[in-house]
Chains A and B, each alone.
Chain A
């Protein structure tokens, strides 16, 4: 147990460092912060709204993650497979599960760091008025879980192919589906020919109701369980894909 934890941590540390050894981390964080600022203050008209309310901040996160998280996750497995380092990684007494947990932890932690650096937005809100701190914290919790779900999905598509571009596009599509699954235009389209249970089933995959509930400050165990199950499912799928690709 201890040993497998050490393996996971060693892999996570290496991945974490590789983000910062290249410009990827800095470019990513700067772009992420610029975009959150732009969306919150310009598009959502944070100042004009006259309310110290962070919904205009959080509402953009699913869309930002949709584009940006795949950029962080696309290389996790594609690059290992393209360069052959996967052969090294999986012959030094590491199991695929330990390796993928390590990568997941590193990428998620990186996203959480980027998210944490948006702290200036709630600070501004606090300066201007008194936002609901409970709702803000719950919103951050939701956004963090959302990021984890996207990371898991991105890692899954990264394991599918040794081509990073394909991995990126697939991850964006999965992200788009998980955002839009519950939107009326999509459900209406389905409802024309699919039975109701299928429409409801697809709609229930959506991130949005769960994320919105948390934004309002409602921490419901079912929403947490939803995010956890998306992550577990995607990690499991990644492991299946990896084992399959390696012929194990």
Chain B
């Protein structure tokens, strides 16, 4: 439902987004990852029709966003990064205003506002002015605003930024619940979030897409993927392990712990166990790592940055 083609955005001489392309269909929760300043927000703003791209196109449900932002925005609910809200309004009157702008009036408007309040657990504060709200409520007010017209596409720019763990959980549950019938695109630099709710992750760095895959498959790119941490007593443990065919390197940690990294992410646990039995080592502990997203993230985004610096 979202189709981006070679999106480019320049601010003066600085290129913030440099040829970003992707396509997302129904039922996807797309995590948009990247270091600060990588171009996440700029890309989302272009999809939302707030910023026009310098080059390239983006369309939602077949409507070119730059050409007809008003029509495209009818199927988009957009939550900006800074959760801007009209401070002096109450939560209810704010949602009423957005509902009105979205073309609802009378009883229809009220019932939509009620439903959004309910879905985002905002009833207790509905008559409070927004400037008195805590961060979590502000975030949810901004999220409620995106739901009023039941959009097919939700664009959420750092929806859980600055929330405490409980509030994060609430927002994540809400996102998961809404995902089935929609496309949700959210940006974040919290990696656990991507693992928790996203079905697909795009990593961008310096304005370019550097990875586009499911979170599980991304994790396999980690150096630690299938690495084995073990605690074993016996003769020449490190030396013996280093000679095994699929093993890349062995690292000794404190208290006799050893980390064994495989070559190219191959599974090595069985082989290590067999060797241990043959050599009559006593194995106290053995753990297989399933890779870590933040490693992959760091690997991908730092090499990208360094490459740029060299060039």
Chain A interface (Cβ within 8 Å of chain B)?
Answer: 3, 6-7, 10-11, 13-14, 17-18, 21-22, 83-88, 90-95, 246-248
Contacts and interface: CB of A to CB of B under 8 A. Distances in A.
A10 B89 contact: no
Given A11-B101, A248-B52, A87 B84 contact: yes
B51 interface: yes
B80 interface: yes
Nearest to A95: B70
Interface of B: 45, 48-52, 69-71, 73-74, 76, 78, 80, 82, 84-89, 93, 97-98, 100-103, 105, 145
A83 B98 CA distance: 17
Contacts of B71: 93
B145 A88 contact: yes
Contacts of A90: 50
Contact of B102 (A13, A22, A83, A92): A92
Given A90-B50, A93-B74, A85 B86 contact: yes
Contacts of A13: 97, 100
B80 A92 contact: no
Given A91-B49, A93-B103, 20 more contacts: A10-B97, A13-B100, A14-B89, A18-B86, A18-B89, A83-B84, A84-B80, A85-B84, A85-B86, A87-B45, A87-B50, A88-B85, A88-B145, A91-B50, A92-B78, A92-B98, A93-B74, A93-B102, A95-B70, A246-B50
B140 to A, nearest CB: 15
Contact of B51 (A11, A88, A247): A247
A91 B73 contact: yes
A91 B86 contact: no
A93 B50 contact: no
A10 B101 CA distance: 6
Nearest to B45: A87
A113 to B, nearest CB: 19
A97 B145 CA distance: 22
Contacts of A84: 80, 82, 84
A6 B103 contact: yes
A13 B99 CA distance: 13
A21 B89 contact: yes
Contact of B85 (A11, A85, A93, A246): A85
7 contacts: A14-B86, A14-B97, A22-B88, A88-B78, A88-B98, A92-B98, A93-B71
Contacts of B87: 83
A91 B78 contact: yes
Nearest to B76: A91
A92 B101 contact: yes
Nearest to B82: A84
A216 to B, nearest CB: 42
Nearest to B83: A84
Contacts of B49: 91
Contacts of A246: 50-51
Contacts of A94: 70, 101
Contacts of B80: 84, 87-88, 91
B171 to A, nearest CB: 18
Nearest to B54: A247
Contacts of A3: 103
A72 B69 CA distance: 30
Contacts of A85: 84-86
A93 B73 contact: yes
Nearest to B78: A91
B115 to A, nearest CB: 17
A170 B49 CA distance: 31
A247 B52 contact: yes
A44 B292 CA distance: 80
A144 to B, nearest CB: 27
Contacts of A92: 73, 78, 98, 101-102
Contacts of A247: 51-52
Contacts of B103: 3, 6, 93
Nearest to B11: A247
A88 B88 contact: no
Contacts of B74: 93
Nearest to A2: B103
B88 A21 contact: yes
